[in-house]
A = this chain, B = another copy of it.
Amino acid sequence: MSAEIICVGTELLLGDILNGNAQYIAKELAKLGIPHYYQTVVGDNLERLQKAIEIASYRAQILIFTGGLGPTPDDLTCEAIAHYFNSPLIERADIIEDITQKFAVRNRVMTPSNSKQALIPQGADILPNISGTAPGIIWQPKPNLIILTFPGVPSEMHRMWQETAVPYLKSQGWGENIIHSRMLKFWGVGESALAERVSPYLNLPNPTVAPYASKGEVKLRVAAKAVSESAAEQLIIPVEQQIKDIAGLDYYGADNDTLASVVGDLLRLSGETVSVAESCTGGYLGQMLTENSGSSDYFWGGVISYDNSVKARILGVNPEDLEKYGAVSAVVAEQMAVGVKTRLGTTWGISITGVAGPTGGSETKPVGLVYIGLAAANGEVESFEHQFGVARGRSLIRHLSACTALDILRRRLIKRK
């Protein structure tokens, strides 16, 4: 028994998008212990879609489709499935009703073409799509063959997968031997340096430990195979604890933790608040701090002081210092942090000023040079110089700046305890 992933969309054949959906479902199948041996990508073409269905239906017993459920004429997944299995397409009144309501909430009227999304093969069940208009189906067109369809929009697909496909597949007996994992996250240490410190763990058979690195963050995936999640946890926990002990403060969290959520939890615990003063990041740090619901408990706001006039006028940075040291300097970073902390009345103030590039660099202040300021509850002020390197590019320099600012506050909040 195995599954096959079929991703439908000419945009995949043209290379317009990366096939993130295949990776997502592949991971999910591995977690449930469902083997899958092939993935197929096919364009928005009725004949070729049917041929892909034919081949897959002979070599797999669970066919998982993504894409081709939209309202336009080139969305053909349901039609191809129905054609191939000689089933009529039935317009479902409950889907029409659901789509109409979703349009109404957004103050829009359902267009005639959307009614196409209500056509599903006779006998198929609906896989509800909570966040979008296109529902999926779950259908057994013949013995030993189950078809599941999902829209191509990743956010909609993920939610449908978790809320409807996973419970269904578990009810069918899958997920008995599962792979359960924990992603340990680190900041402020390089991949190879961390790998050397934890090298004995990288050869364990169960759980396995594998390093990943991206955008300044290093992760270790600790994955255990066991009959249940709790049995897997028993294997993971001691290894996780030993790795945490080795990593010390470089370890910041696991799984869904982010630097911002960890900082937020620490602030909430101590009943403190933070505000931000951002220059080169232009709001990126504030955006990260407010990604989590409930961040109003500890984040009060900030000032985006992109132009020097805003640094002086709103944050109270001394114009003479701006002139003398330049906007990208330790002095200005510290005054920005103090300024925002004082004006907004928060416990902490944190600031970022730097050269994100690609233009604006100079011999003494090259692209990638960033100063982070931290004004503390007790009146202390510090600043930190970072050189992220001109080669990293504007977007990554901004990301590293915001993450490093969060990491500085995180270490400070922990060390103080």
Contacts and interface: CB of A to CB of B under 8 A. Distances in A.
A29 B12 CA distance: 12
A153 to B, nearest CB: 6
A320 interface: no
B306 A296 contact: yes
Copy number in the complex reads 2
A190 B108 contact: yes
A165 B44 CA distance: 28
B202 A72 contact: yes
Contact of A389 (B13, B106, B344, B356): B106
Interface string A65-86: 0000011111000000000000
B210 A74 contact: yes
Interface residues of A, number: 119
A15 B11 contact: no
A78 to B, nearest CB: 16
Contact of A283 (B48, B107, B278): B278
A392 interface: yes
A27 B214 CA distance: 23
Given A13-B26, A23-B17, A24-B15, A306 B310 contact: no
Contacts of A94: none
Contact of A73 (B12, B202, B307): B202
Interface string A241-275: 00000000000000000000000000000000001
Contacts of A40: 38-41
Contacts of A11: 210, 212, 221
A82 B306 CA distance: 51
Interface in A300-334: 300-307, 309-310, 313-314
A59 interface: yes
A23 B13 contact: no
B287 A113 contact: no
A90 interface: no
Nearest to A129: B391
A300 B293 contact: no
Nearest to A14: B30
Contacts of A39: 12-13, 39-41
Interface stretch (A166-174, A191-199, A405-413): A191-199
A111 interface: yes
Given A113-B196, A301-B304, A51 B59 contact: yes
Contacts of A388: 106
A206 to B, nearest CB: 15
Interface string A369-380: 000000000000
A10 B195 contact: no
Contacts of A296: 306-307
Contact of A72 (B108, B211, B223): B211
Given A26-B12, A307-B301, A314-B344, A192 B130 contact: no
